[in-house]
Structure 1
């Protein structure tokens, strides 16, 4: 999967399954609504219309199901038609599983996702997760040729899928894969030196020079917490800042991610079953880096850069956007703000961290801030998920003029509610 080139297209073009294997997936009712003319070019002559209809009739998703259409080179798969209230209607987690289990092999493959327009962004991010970039398998390291996977979305709700959405999907997918690669990489290859190299590479790609405060300079400039946690490490801790400052900016958006490249547990040393996976504690900083790269690349393609639309549609509120990463190397000290005072630690660390942040900002600070603990969702089993990239792009989508990010953003959207009502409604609290 590490050598896969992922490409999103309005139309993947016509090709026989023998030359380009194909996976077609979506909810069963959506698959049944698709016209044969929309997908026949990817199946004929190996698969007839009758075979396609018979396969759809044979699908019985519980919660998912799949059916081969032609040997192992063409497959149709069904997503759940219903999800619990805790899950996205896009069923992104099931989409990921179906791609991993049902996508035919080959160097040039095609995925056709049949869905509603509102599910396109989540589905694209789930597809990106299915193709991780990190591997140390010997066979993969010897393989030099790139594999290509072309993704096409067939939108069933009658809305046109515009071409300019594709760049947003591509940027988001690249951000998800970048974040996952950083989390997957073990500490001997992703210590604070390496992580700073990743930040510098993103800065170079965006034309931004990061501000880096490191080692003893952290102590001198008042960053005692970062300095104290990582000062005993071979690779010193660091605070790195990337900033995008468009002309006319009137408000700041700041993302801050914690990147502990390996967490031994410090004074509360971790055991043999939990310590091997603690490279994943850099997931917060990795998510911020992936989201920053994806967001800035996307908004720079829009006239005016990063801004918010007012209720009247005028583009007059520009935003300065910055991302900060504080990085720690392995250390046997544990001066980090943690939840060692709680008997039930299920949510203790997150609660303590939120209280710590709130107290340092000042409880009377008039701004809006959110603390999100993503230590658990940044991985599933032994693989990183790239979690956090899509979350940030969606949460702050209203701060851009990008129509797709505006569409998926649940917060900051125009509302008829009064300011008082908005303040009381925590689920729609304005972030921008």
Structure 2
């Protein structure tokens, strides 16, 4: 694997402002129009631009719809007059719906670009925020605009130190109406957030001949290594051992692949009272559909089917590294890793498999494999003496999610009104938006009725809340005593928002989990 394909950190630099920032050839100022209009004069002066030039440029933008305006300006230097570029990116101030975030993170992501004028070596990105607490969410949105995976001849030459052009550095600064923010912790947490988003997106973008189960395990080991001072423990159950220990869902989905499936568990414990949270991620590194083969181009892009596991792995690192405002006693990450492949040993329609929970399942669609691996994952998380207070499973589970809630909102299903409200609020705070779907096992379980097993794995009626049903299938494998003891289960189907236009990974889920657990920077 090339060096570039292993990159994980965001190319954005996060350091408190310095006087040398004004020397950057390109200055970009980003914010809602009303915030740009009321920004402190000192912020404008800090980029080396005079106030009249800034105000004249801002006046060319429609306040309601927003937009981008660019001009050259003269910056006085010791060597004389030096022309630089000023771009103002005004986010729209048009009415905001109650389901959107006031941060307008989608607009930030779509507005920014890593491209810069020819010859540029340094770009300053100054974000005008409404509150100091917005910095990390803005960093997450910005990181989505700067994907890091690249595997081209040109990128390989750059790695070898050829005569290729030097990379452009993008330095991020934050400001409010009162002036530039200088607190080091703000930038420290923002960097960790952006790096986590970049990691999740890069895993999704890496092709399956590079990102197989073994390489995903290496990614998890890398997280443990980077968190060396935090005492994170890692356990791997893989291959035939899965079968022997009863992980029938994960084993059967991945057994046909040369690179065998694995359950990877990362655990961080604190010596304090607090919540225990288990994160369970679907990590299908490639989905052919199995013997229910995806046809007519439906297989293209299925490298993104590990988006849930990628987002949770990166979020785990960021939460542990940043710490949380409210105490946790334990954070557990369960990664369900497999390639849904075809071959002589592939599981078949009409097979009956047994999950770790003990439930049996008659397979009627090998392409409904995500719920099978997650069934084992949530059982692993809840079949313990010290049960978690909250279990969150996250997956690119159903195409129907996009029909139900679209490409901007992940769909959530939960047994708890409290967890539902908490997730929606975390989505609005982070920009990783979610929207609830019905939770009604009494209506949806009949979709999986089997005459020879506890259930089938695919619904009989695709018009009957298919995404809620798929989530319910996973929830049925949560240990019953977990529910009896008041445990909260939250399912996140992020098939749509896991990728952006063009198919690049979005890093969705990092901000959501950080906000859900009140990581520093999101509290």
> Which residue in 1 is equivalent to 2:282?
258
> Which residue in 2 is equivalent to 1:430?
none
> Which residue in 1 is equivalent to 2:42?
37
Q: Is the 8 Å Cα contact of residues 262 and 278 (structure 1) preserved in structure 2?
A: yes
> Which residue in 2 is equivalent to 1:320?
330
SS in 1 for 2:123: strand
4+ aligned runs moved over 4 Å, structure 1: 1-4, 14-17, 101-105, 157-161
1:79 to 68, 91, 97: 91
Question: Are residues 1:340 and 2:355 paired?
Answer: no
Residue 103 of structure 1: CA displacement?
5.5
Residue 245 of structure 1: CA displacement?
1.1
**Counterparts of 1:307 and 1:64, CA distance in 2:** 35
Where do residues 18-417 of structure 1 align in structure 2 (5 Å cutoff)?
19-44=24-49, 48-61=50-63, 63-70=65-72, 73-82=85-94, 83-100=96-113, 104=117, 106-117=120-131, 118-144=133-159, 145-156=166-177, 162-207=183-228, 208-249=232-273, 251-299=275-323, 308=326, 318-332=328-342, 333=347, 334=366, 336=369, 337=371, 340-344=458-462, 348-362=466-480, 364-381=484-501, 382-397=503-518, 402=520, 404-406=521-523
Cα deviation code 1:301-336 (max 9, x no counterpart) = xxxxx573xxxxxxxx65111111010113134273
Q: Is the 8 Å Cα contact of residues 155 and 161 (structure 1) preserved in structure 2?
A: no
Structure 2 spans left out of the alignment, 5+ residues = 74-83, 160-165, 348-365, 373-456
SS in 2 for 1:324: strand
SS in 1 for 2:192: helix
Q: How many residues end up aligned between the 2 structures?
A: 384
Cα deviation code 1:165-213 (max 9, x no counterpart) = 2211111111100000000011100010110110111111112341000
Structure 1 spans left out of the alignment, 5+ residues = 300-305, 309-316, 407-432
* TM-score, reference length from structure 1: 0.82
Residue 136 of structure 1: CA displacement?
1.5
Q: Is the 8 Å Cα contact of residues 204 and 310 (structure 2) preserved in structure 1?
A: yes
Residue 349 of structure 1: CA displacement?
4.4
SS in 1 for 2:113: helix
Residue 56 of structure 1: CA displacement?
1.3
Q: 1:250 to 1:130 in 2, by over 3 A?
A: closer
SS in 2 for 1:132: coil
SS in 1 for 2:253: helix
Q: Is the 8 Å Cα contact of residues 249 and 318 (structure 1) preserved in structure 2?
A: yes
**Counterparts of 2:180 and 2:154, CA distance in 1:** 44
Q: Is the 8 Å Cα contact of residues 75 and 103 (structure 1) preserved in structure 2?
A: no
**Counterparts of 1:179 and 1:388, CA distance in 2:** 9
